[in-house]
């Protein structure tokens, strides 16, 4: 009986200790219930947080409210209601937050394919230069990292702050195209086409600009930043990140046929100087190989 009592006490202590050591980290709620982009981010982050642990110790949850990008940054700086966020890089975010400079989509976010109205398909077959594409009107998010690049490079651009409205705008022909990352467009099309059946994925063109998405961590959580950074480097070194990435995007890359599209290069003058362009293992498309002309991208 005494041995049983001691065993029970030990079990309770171990269970309590494991529970007390568990950490819950907070991310910003997606912009829309129809937004599928967070699934990959969450799966990668949970994998990194719990790498080599015997069981899931670190968990994630969303904020109760949806926040703008500016508000998300403010909450991260305060470190009270938000711990970590994945977003396309910007100089001010890298200056003010703890940045894990590993592109979580291996640069696919910067390879843009156009979401268009289905009635306009044939018009894009005859576009053979970037200048011709710039005559079309793009719709972009008002606070996105790609938006100042698009405007600076002379694209005819309008903006809107509501994520779901961007798809509606194309459906009702209030803009000509919506440039989406390779990692985004198929999932978004599947989600939004039942709501907006006139959406179509353009089949001939691509636009490439270096645009990494990183994990950004609150400066009040340096231990979290170090955990993500250290485990991410281990994940890469063991070849497991490549496996994780390809298991989710190989079929998408093939279906979108990016190797045979007419692809236009757009320089990103807003890219922070610390961007790890020299680490070729971090990119699916090597930014160093891209030239400011039409080309077929190389792996």
pLDDT (tens digit per residue) in 125-180: 999 999 999 999 999 999 899 999 999 999 999 999 899 999 999 999 999 999 99
**C-beta of residue 107 within 8 angstroms of C-beta of residue 283:** yes
Banded pLDDT at 20 (limits 50, 70, 90)? very low
**C-beta of residue 102 within 8 angstroms of C-beta of residue 86:** no
From residue 223, alpha-carbon distances to 10, 20, 84, 220, 231 in Å are: 29, 17, 12, 9, 12
Q: Counting every residue, how long is the chain?
A: 299
In which residue are the tokens 């480097």 written? Answer: 233
Is the confidence at residue 33, as pLDDT, over 90?
no
What pTM, to 2 d.p., does this model score? 0.84
What residue ranges do the domains of the chain occupy?
A: 2-107+211-289, 110-208
Q: What kind of fold does domain 2-107+211-289 have according to CATH? A: D-Maltodextrin-Binding Protein; domain 2 (3.40.190)
Banded pLDDT at 38 (limits 50, 70, 90)? confident
Per-residue confidence (pLDDT) for residue 22, from 0 to 100: 61
Are the folds of 2-107+211-289 and 110-208 the same? yes
**C-beta of residue 30 within 8 angstroms of C-beta of residue 184:** no
**Burial annotation 202-225 (CB, 10 A radius, 16+ → b, else e):** bebbbbbbbbbbbbbbbeebeebb
Domain 110-208 has CATH 3.40.190.10: yes
Q: What does the alpha-carbon distance between residue 227 and residue 52 come to, in Å, rounded to a whole number?
A: 12
Kindly state the percentage of the chain with pLDDT values over 90: 79
**C-beta of residue 215 within 8 angstroms of C-beta of residue 45:** yes
Nearest alpha-carbon partner for 160 in 179, 174, 184, 139: 139
Report how far apart the first and last C-alpha atoms of the chain are (Å, whole number): 66
In which residue are the tokens 């219930």 written? Answer: 33
Q: 214-265, pLDDT tens digit by residue?
A: 999 999 999 999 999 999 999 999 999 999 999 999 999 999 999 899 999 9
Q: With the CA atoms of 112, 208, 237 and 187 taken in that order, what torsion angle do they form, in degrees rounded to the nearest 10?
A: 10
Q: 64-99, pLDDT tens digit by residue?
A: 999 999 999 999 999 989 999 999 999 999 999 999
Q: What does the alpha-carbon distance between residue 220 and residue 68 come to, in Å, rounded to a whole number?
A: 21
């Amino acid at each position: 009986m005494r041995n049983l009592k001691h065993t029970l006490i030990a079990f309770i202590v171990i269970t309590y200790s494991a529970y007390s050591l568990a950490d819950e980290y907070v991310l910003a709620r997606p912009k829309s219930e129809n937004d599928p982009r967070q699934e990959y981010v969450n799966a990668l982050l949970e994998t990194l947080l719990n790498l080599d642990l015997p069981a899931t110790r670190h968990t994630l949850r969303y904020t109760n409210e949806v926040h703008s990008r500016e508000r998300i940054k403010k909450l991260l700086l305060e470190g009270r209601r938000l711990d970590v966020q994945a977003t396309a890089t910007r100089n001010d975010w890298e200056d003010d937050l703890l940045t894990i400079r590993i592109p979580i989509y291996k640069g696919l976010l910067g390879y843009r394919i156009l979401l268009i109205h289905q009635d306009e398909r044939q018009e894009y077959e005859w576009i053979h230069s970037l200048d011709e594409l710039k005559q079309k009107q793009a719709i972009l998010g008002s606070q996105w990292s790609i938006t100042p690049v698009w405007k600076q490079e002379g694209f005819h651009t309008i903006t809107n702050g509501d994520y779901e409205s961007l798809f509606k705008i194309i459906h009702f022909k209030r803009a000509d195209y919506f440039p989406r990352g390779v990692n985004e467009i198929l999932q978004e099309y599947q989600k939004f086409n039942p709501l907006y059946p006139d959406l179509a994925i353009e089949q001939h063109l691509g636009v490439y600009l270096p645009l990494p998405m990183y994990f950004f961590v609150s400066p009040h959580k340096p231990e979290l930043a170090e955990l993500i950074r250290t485990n991410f480097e281990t994940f890469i070194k063991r070849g497991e990140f490549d496996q994780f990435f390809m298991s989710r995007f190989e079929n998408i890359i093939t279906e979108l046929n990016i190797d045979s599209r007419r692809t236009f290069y757009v320089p990103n003058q807003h890219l922070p100087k610390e961007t790890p362009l020299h680490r070729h293992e971090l990119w699916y498309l090597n930014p160093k190989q891209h030239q400011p002309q039409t080309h077929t991208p190389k792996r």
